[in-house]
């Protein structure tokens, strides 16, 4: 037994020595491989969502269409810091040409389409300002998605500026120019580019140490919109006999969001949101949203939870109809209704949730047009 024990000890020491020698050799090889600094300065992120979505559409003649879909979404992003002032961002996602959707519907073993989701360059010459251009993440502060679908990546340029004016309070200003179409043919034969100009100003205040209030007003000044038709239109804005828009949809919007932390022991987080928009259309030109969210501040840990509710109304010509949330009333204007959702964390960076929409038209639609819609979305989401 002693001899066997001695042999085992000698073999163990020998294997340990070999292991240490191999590890040292591997470390030496690693030292020879220099990782480029730009790669060291690159931050990667991503998420995957699996969704089951049954829905029912009903037109004014009480004809119903029911469908159920399994859908996935995969998004990958990378941001590289070129130097202290410059960075480049790039993202890819599932989906086709629809600017308001990164969903891919599972169907007949079809290969998944991937697209570039965003690509931009950003210049930050000082702490209080940054300037970016390309296909960018929406730089406008929005309390909810009444006007802007969260998947939209505007084409154009924006600057973000903020100044501290008091303890825990800062003012922010965001001017932006978005390109809506490469060109538009005029009757005269000239070509003009439909453009959206935006100027937003607001305040971001952290009060009483941990609560937060954000309020902003936004002006939208558009050019070459009247007489133009978007390929992604929902078909509910007012148009002429040729199907072209009859307004420029210049608009003013107000967004407000307030968050309370540790107010109640059993509900540690409460968030209230509101939005309002009015356009230059002659009538049917206003929209609004009121929302409530409560539970934990974040749901990315096990058993963390949130419940959300909002009611919204967006009249036919309150806003361009290819921009609002695509899940609410098929992304159209002339819609109103409820959205309620609940989410819970299964593990770190893994959640499940349900989202339910009950919507209907504000004005009586034409025969065959969408009148009422109900959608249920059940999601499993993983992020990294």
pLDDT of residue 39: 83
Angle at 135 between CA 339 and CA 212, to 5 degrees: 50
Q: Would you list the domain boundaries of the chain?
A: 1-33, 48-72+127-383
Asked if the 48-72+127-383 domain carries CATH number 2.40.160.10, the reply is yes
* Burial group, residue 157, by CB count within 10 angstroms (0-12, 13-18, 19+): middle
- pTM (2 d.p.): 0.88
104 pairs with which residues across the strands? 72
Residue 16 predicted with pLDDT over 80 = no
Q: How far apart are CA 115 and CA 118, in angstroms?
A: 9
Place 322 in a pLDDT band, splitting at 50, 70 and 90: very high
Average pLDDT over residues 330-340: 96
Q: Pairing mode, if any, of strands 129-135 and 155-166?
A: antiparallel
Angle at 133 between CA 164 and CA 121, to 5 degrees: 90
Give me the percent of the chain exceeding a pLDDT of 70. Answer: 89
Place 192 in a pLDDT band, splitting at 50, 70 and 90: confident
Q: How far apart are CA 63 and CA 50, in angstroms?
A: 30
Cα 30 from chain centroid (whole Å): 40
What pLDDT, in 10s, does the model give residues 267-294? 999 999 999 999 999 999 999 999 999 9
Give me the percent of the chain exceeding a pLDDT of 90. Answer: 78
Question: DSSP readout, 300-359?
Answer: -STT-EEEEEEEEEE-TTSS-TTSS-TTSGGG-SSEEEEEEEEEEEEETTEEEEEEEEEE
Least confident window among 44-48, 182-186, 240-244, 341-345: 182-186
Tell me what the pLDDT averaged over the chain comes to. 91
Sign, CA dihedral 272-278-326-155, equals negative
67 pairs with which residues across the strands? 55
pLDDT of residue 61: 72
Average pLDDT over residues 77-83: 95
What pLDDT, in 10s, does the model give residues 52-67? 999 999 987 777 899 9
- Which of 170, 166, 82 lies closest to 129, judged by CA? 170
What pLDDT, in 10s, does the model give residues 111-164? 999 999 999 999 999 999 999 999 999 999 999 999 999 999 999 999 999 999
The 3-state DSSP class for residue 231 equals: coil
Residue 10 predicted with pLDDT over 70 = no
Kindly give the residue spans of alpha helices, DSSP state H, lying in the chain: 2-32, 37-40
């Amino acid at each position: 037994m002693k001899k066997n024990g001695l042999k085992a000890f000698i073999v163990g020491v020998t294997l340990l020595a070999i292991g240490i020698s191999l590890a040292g050799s591997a470390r030496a090889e690693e030292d020879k491989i220099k990782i480029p600094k730009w790669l060291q300065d690159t931050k990667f992120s991503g998420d995957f969502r699996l969704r089951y979505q049954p829905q029912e559409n009903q037109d004014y003649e009480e004809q119903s269409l029911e469908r159920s879909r399994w859908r996935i979404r995969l998004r990958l992003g990378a941001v590289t810091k070129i130097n202290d002032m410059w960075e480049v961002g790039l993202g890819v996602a599932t989906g086709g040409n629809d600017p308001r959707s990164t969903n891919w519907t599972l169907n007949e073993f079809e290969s998944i389409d991937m697209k570039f989701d965003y690509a931009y360059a950003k210049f930050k010459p000082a702490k209080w300002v940054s300037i970016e251009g390309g296909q960018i993440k929406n730089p406008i502060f929005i309390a909810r998605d009444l006007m802007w679908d969260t998947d939209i990546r505007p084409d154009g340029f924006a600057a973000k500026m903020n100044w501290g004016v008091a303890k825990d309070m800062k003012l922010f200003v965001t001017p932006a120019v978005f390109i809506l179409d490469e060109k538009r043919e005029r009757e005269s034969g000239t070509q003009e580019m439909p453009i959206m100009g935006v100027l937003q100003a607001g305040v971001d205040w952290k009060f009483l140490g941990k609560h937060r209030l954000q309020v902003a007003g936004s002006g939208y000044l558009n050019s070459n919109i009247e007489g133009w038709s978007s390929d992604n239109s929902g078909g509910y804005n007012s148009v002429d006999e040729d199907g072209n828009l009859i307004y420029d949809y210049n608009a003013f919007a107000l967004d407000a969001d307030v968050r309370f932390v540790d107010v109640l022991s059993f509900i540690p987080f409460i968030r209230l949101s509101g939005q309002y928009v009015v356009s230059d259309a002659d009538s049917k030109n206003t929209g609004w949203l009121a929302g409530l969210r409560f539970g934990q501040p974040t749901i990315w840990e096990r058993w963390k939870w949130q419940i959300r509710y909002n009611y919204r109304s967006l009249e036919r010509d309150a806003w361009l109809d290819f921009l609002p949330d695509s899940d609410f009333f098929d992304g159209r204007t002339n819609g109103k209704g409820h959205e309620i959702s609940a989410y819970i964390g299964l593990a770190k960076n893994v959640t499940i949730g349900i989202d339910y929409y009950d919507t209907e038209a504000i004005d009586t639609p034409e025969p065959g047009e969408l009148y009422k819609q109900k959608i249920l979305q059940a999601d499993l989401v993983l992020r990294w």
